[in-house]
Amino acid sequence: MENVAKTIDHSLLRPELTLDEVRAGCALAARYDVASVCVRPCDVPEAAALLRGTGVLVGTVAGFPHGDATTATKVAEARRAVADGAAEIDMVLNIGRLRSGDLTTVEADIRAVVDAVDGATVKVILENAYLTDAEKVAGCEAAERAGAHYVKTSTGFAPGGATMEDLRLMRAAVSPKVKIKAAGGVRTLDILLAMAAVGVTRFGATATAAILDDLASRS
């Protein structure tokens, strides 16, 4: 139970969430002892205060969900988040520049955020629904060159989310030191376990309670 729980980033990113809903989500994350909550940037101070001492990390997003903010804006978002208590940053790479073949800009954008956060974990969201397989591979390779710790499939706000095919492709595209995060459609324990079997070590999920309750019922 603990091993599976510590692969989950409980997602609290929907724009309409109230403060009470964010607080309830943090309480759920603490109760199940997941890896982290991934909250909106404005919620980082609240989440950090609520989860201090629990062992549940606070993560947030930069350049979310479209990836088209300037590098300076992403850097400022990431620095502010770390100052507010975030330990992990899920940044969206510049999707349009990746599709244009401008890998120099894509890599520099990622590296600037990695360099700005002074050792915090950086996960790079590719948003695979908009990319060809070649672009997915190029994005993963750029993220590794830039020093990112994870490559991630999706924001959860695009037309498609994580697929087994994409996860296998991403795992093959980076070295073992770069980890894989699946997000978008991770709604059941069986899906999570199947993805873990191909090398995924972190999952963005809103169905955290259902997944872990199912696991408890099987043990």
pLDDT digits (tens, 9 = 90+) for 45-75: 999 999 999 999 999 999 999 999 999 999 9
Can 177 be counted among the known catalytic residues? no
pLDDT at 219 over 90: no
Query: Can you give the pLDDT at residue 116?
Result: 98
- Its pTM stands at 0.97
Query: Can you give the pLDDT at residue 127?
Result: 98
Confidence of residue 211 (pLDDT cuts 50, 70, 90): very high
Can 6 be counted among the known catalytic residues? no
Q: Of 123, 136, 179, 181, which residue is the catalytic one?
A: 181
Give dist(CA 149, CA 55) in Å, integer: 20
Give dist(CA 129, CA 176) in Å, integer: 24
Looking at the chain, the whole-number percentage of residues with pLDDT higher than 70 is 100
Looking at the chain, the whole-number percentage of residues with pLDDT higher than 90 is 99
Domain that holds residue 137: 2-218
Q: Of 90, 109, 123, 136, which residue is the catalytic one?
A: 90
Number of domains in the chain: 1
Q: Of 84, 152, 166, 179, which residue is the catalytic one?
A: 152
Query: Can you give the pLDDT at residue 6?
Result: 98
Query: Can you give the pLDDT at residue 88?
Result: 98
* pLDDT tens sequence across 15-39: 999 999 999 999 999 999 999 999 9
Query: Can you give the pLDDT at residue 83?
Result: 98
The answer to whether the CB of 205 falls within 8 A of the CB of 8 is: yes
Asked, as a colleague might, if the bond just before 45 is cis with ω within 30 of 0, I would say no
Q: Among candidates 156, 157, 207, 162, which has minimal Cα distance to 182? A: 162
Can 123 be counted among the known catalytic residues? no
Give dist(CA 8, CA 123) in Å, integer: 14
Query: Can you give the pLDDT at residue 113?
Result: 98
CATH of the domain at 155: 3.20.20.70
pLDDT at 132 over 90: yes
* pLDDT tens sequence across 83-95: 999 999 999 999 9
